Amino acid sequence: MACHTVLPLLFLLFLLAMAATADDVAPGPTTPPPELNLTNILENGGQYTTLLRLLNATRITEQITSQLKNSYDGLTFFAPNDNAFTKLKAGTLNALTDQEQIQLLLYHVLPRYYSLTTFQTASNPLHTEASGPGGMYSVNVSTSTTSPLVNVSTGVVDVPISSTLFARFPFAVYSVDDVLQPPQMFGSSHKAFAPAPGQAAAAAGRQKGVPKSDVAAEPSEAVEEPEGSSTNAAAAGRGIAVWLTTVIVLGGMALFLNLLVSA
């Protein structure tokens, strides 16, 4: 007699387990992911008019938006403020071709999400989205355990991340007080924008190191939990499913024991 009561209960538990699993795979339609909008982030930050104009003119904003939708690893964007652009030699931006402007902007994009903490375990050099058949365009990051600064160096400039404008997987936007100048465009070989001789020599010296292509993810980076609200909602959903299952199991056990005793 007890057996007849337990079987339907087991079936119910099975259904609940299936529901919990389905919840893991697809979060419900009630939690649309927030639209990540680089324009918005930069406008809120103030001080990024030149960058916004460049991003718009080159249509890189659209490219970043669509990449964010299709990327497993996320993106990191270094945003030079208006002050950074005023440090460039006069006429520098206008002297760049459209293609070079795109290349310069893509040099500010890393094809994965880095929080300030995951920069500590990143292995240099990190290639940027400007890398391609034309060569490896990479930056180095350096961190210190004693100071909160993360420095980004290109071989031409070395600049600390001055503030975090946005950092939630899959997108990080950090403000920098210098335009990240790739040595390929601003190093000694590029006469139009050659930096001071000392700087150029240093850049050329550093460039001799062959960039390693193993910028693969550190295992520890994968551990970093995305903090999106949809994830929280999914987790909450799972929590409810687990709670329900527990209640049913305990109830079923009580009923079963009761039947055993009365039998």
Ligand X SMILES: *[C@@H]1O[C@H](CO)[C@@H](O)[C@H](O)[C@H]1NC(C)=O
- Residues interacting with ligand X, by CB under 6 A? 35, 37, 39-40, 43, 53, 56-57, 65, 124-125, 140, 142-144, 149, 151, 153, 155, 160, 206, 209
> Closest approach of Cβ 224 to ligand X, in Å?
20
| Residue tagged 């990190």 (tokens) | 126
> Closest approach of Cβ 72 to ligand X, in Å?
21
How deeply is 113 buried, as exposed, middle or buried, from its count of CB atoms within 10 A (0-12, 13-18, 19+)? buried
Measured from each CB, the residue nearest to ligand X is: 209
With CA atoms as reference, report the closest residue to 78 among 140, 20, 9: 140
| Residue tagged 């527990």 (tokens) | 246
Q: Which is nearer to ligand X, 33 or 209 (CB)?
A: 209
> Closest approach of Cβ 209 to ligand X, in Å?
3
Q: Which is nearer to ligand X, 5 or 44 (CB)?
A: 44
> Closest approach of Cβ 11 to ligand X, in Å?
47
Own/partner contacts of 140-146, CB < 8 Å, gap of 24 or more, are: 141/114, 143/119, 145/120
- H runs (alpha helix) in 108-263: 183-186, 197-207, 219-223, 229-262
Q: Which helix (H) or strand (E) holds 57?
A: helix 49-58
Q: Which is nearer to ligand X, 48 or 113 (CB)?
A: 48
> Closest approach of Cβ 173 to ligand X, in Å?
13
78 vs 191: CA distance, rounded Å: 25
Q: Which is nearer to ligand X, 43 or 218 (CB)?
A: 43
Residues 6+ apart with CB under 8 A from 4: none
Q: Which is nearer to ligand X, 6 or 116 (CB)?
A: 116
| Residue tagged 């190093």 (tokens) | 187
> Closest approach of Cβ 245 to ligand X, in Å?
40
Q: Which is nearer to ligand X, 151 or 188 (CB)?
A: 151
